[in-house]
A and B are shown apart, each in its own frame.
Chain A
Amino acid sequence: MTTSTLKKALAHTYMTLLTLPIIAMIVWYFLAATMNFTTGEFSLDNFSFFTEPVEYSGIKLPLIWPIVLNTIVYSLMIVAIEVGISVPTAYAFSRLDFKGKGAALKFLFLMRSFPGITLIIATFFILVKMGLVNTYLGVMLVATTGSLPGLVYIMKGFFDEVPWDIEWAAMVDGTTRFGAFKKVLVPYVLSGIGAISVFAFLGAYGEWFLFKLLIFNDDMLTLAGYLAKLVTKENQIVNYGLITAIGLFYTLPVVVFYIFTQKMFMKVNMGGAKQS
């Protein structure tokens, strides 16, 4: 009895000690955004970016709201495109027999483990030739190409878990193959589609490198690129208060979103569970 209590106490102390730095960081993060450190008083001065364009030590950035709109539109479009392509593709890889399937799968896997950044110079030149530099289309093409292999692979796993019986039952019950896909398989793997939507969204929301590389107009940036601009000038005095404040504004939606969707993430593996 006493040893188990002791063990518990030890475990709890250990866990608390390990978690403390993380908690401290979060607290510090909030403090940095909402406190004036010279006077030690609470202030919302750092949040003035809500109402006026950001401007300090030579950096001038546009007002944040159009950027927010860019971010939302860009992220949702990426989700729509990537989910729209990866779900049928994954179905094909999981269910159909076609020539070169094995090779294509291997290639997908290779693409997934290949560091995309090494291709960036070639990508840039191709986009220049195609006249797609400084356009959203260019960014989206590169971004989707980069993340599709991974999403297809994840989605294929979900389709693999759907019993053939279910698909056959639908076909016997009067659907075409596509009808079975639409009416039975897609609902079956809905949690998987949810999961890859979230991955696609988070990927798009956090995309700053492609914007830095391919977009030259500051008013076309998304939040991640906007934030990146604040810290990447040389020899500048970094305004921590401002960066944390914008950072907070940038992270909060994701945190809230995660709190609401984490249940779905936990359920992800139930997708293929047997019914009995």
Chain B
Amino acid sequence: MITLRNIVKNYDGKKESSRAVDGLDLVINKGEFVALLGPSGCGKTTTLMMLAGLLKPTSGEIYFGDRLVNHVEPKDRNIGMVFQSYALYPHLTVRDNIAFPLRERKMPKAQAYERAKEMSKIVQIDHLLDRKPSQLSGGQQQRVAMARALAKDPEILLLDEPMSNLDARLKLDVRDEIRKLQRELGVTTIIVTHDQEEALAISDRVAILNGGKIQQYAPPEELFSQPVNLFVASFLGNPPMNLIDGVVQEDKGVQAIVTSGFEFRIPEARKLEAKHIGKPVKLGIRPHDLMLTDGSDPNAIAMKVDLVEHLGSGKLVKVMDAEQKMQSTIRFVTDNEAPVRHGDTIQMKIREDKFHIFDMTEDGHNLMQFR
């Protein structure tokens, strides 16, 4: 188990302007696969470097199990790490690259080479053992880096954007392989990435970071369906969530969010507390949670189609309100059969259980209680 407790990292000593990580708490269970996800500059790589011991936290504690490792050298932490650039040793062959960490542990050469061969078989590069890194393709280099990181049977595997230099197709394969390998070996793994699809696909839990703080730390489906705040909601999802400015109003016990283009009645089961009435909010709806309907539906909202994009598996439709009073367009996804054309006026509705309301008076937290 890895525990990070109130970690702060300033790159320039006491200067707060250089703060990269700002009071981070994180618990990672043994054998778990955790992703640190966030935009660039959010502190995710800094956090990984502190786990590796390459950077020291300014304050806070890092525990591996019960052991405080703040001042333990990287070499004594028993970690394997794959870098974004793979960081293979260019002067050594693939065999020597994989055997390097073992040789550093004073393992006899023959035994280290034996183990290197074993590892190379697992990642399917055993035919390349005598090559130099410069003679390998990007995908092969990535495998060598994985083999090197895993050769010493580490307690913790750290992956720093390991797939960002691979092409899209290869990424999918490598992703599955990493996941499979991690399950087989049961090694606690932490991956840093800015690719949300990758993070959601590969990990047991994802920590979303922004501004050096954890915004939400949860399994992928929970992040997606129950974002705790505006940042998580807008960061996750492609196409992104529709966020529409509005004000909460109450009329005869019925709450509604009034936007410049339409009025959305909040279902009885999800009524907000009275203190939010009259306050600005953002209504968040994922493009998949808007549906076409017909005019007889009491909840139907009339919209004008601005643009239709074909996604292959469906259509991405951008709509404006009929009078074009709203500042932003709304995106939603329909199937290919839906008769939607540019310039049409359509009726759509919001799935009653699939919307979010973010409080805009404070930090943008999600007002919906998920029970």
Contacts and interface: CB of A to CB of B under 8 A. Distances in A.
Given A173-B148, A276-B138, A184 B89 contact: yes
Nearest to B134: A275
A251 interface: no
B85 A274 contact: yes
B147 interface: no
A275 B88 contact: yes
Given A168-B52, A275-B141, A187 B85 contact: no
B104 A165 contact: no
A169 B149 CA distance: 9
A176 to B, nearest CB: 7
Interface string A184-226: 1001101000000000000000000000000000000000000
B90 A275 contact: yes
B54 interface: yes
Interface in B59-102: 73-75, 77, 79-81, 83-91, 100-101
B105 interface: yes
Residue with the highest number of chain B CB atoms closer than 10 Å, among A168, A176, A187: A168
A170 B92 CA distance: 12
A168 B87 contact: yes
A174 B90 contact: no
Given A188-B91, A276-B138, A174 B75 contact: yes
B40 interface: no
Nearest to A271: B90
Interface residues of A, number: 20
B165 A276 contact: yes
B141 A174 contact: no
B152 interface: yes
A166 B152 contact: no
B284 interface: no
A174 B101 contact: yes
Contacts of A176: 73, 75
A63 B359 CA distance: 96
A102 interface: no
Given A175-B75, A187-B91, A163 B100 contact: no
Interface of A: 163, 165-166, 168-176, 179, 184, 187-188, 190, 274-276
13 contacts: A163-B85, A165-B84, A168-B74, A168-B81, A170-B89, A172-B53, A172-B74, A172-B81, A173-B101, A175-B75, A275-B85, A275-B133, A276-B141
Interface of B: 49, 52-54, 73-75, 77, 79-81, 83-91, 100-101, 104-105, 133-134, 138, 141, 148, 152, 158, 165
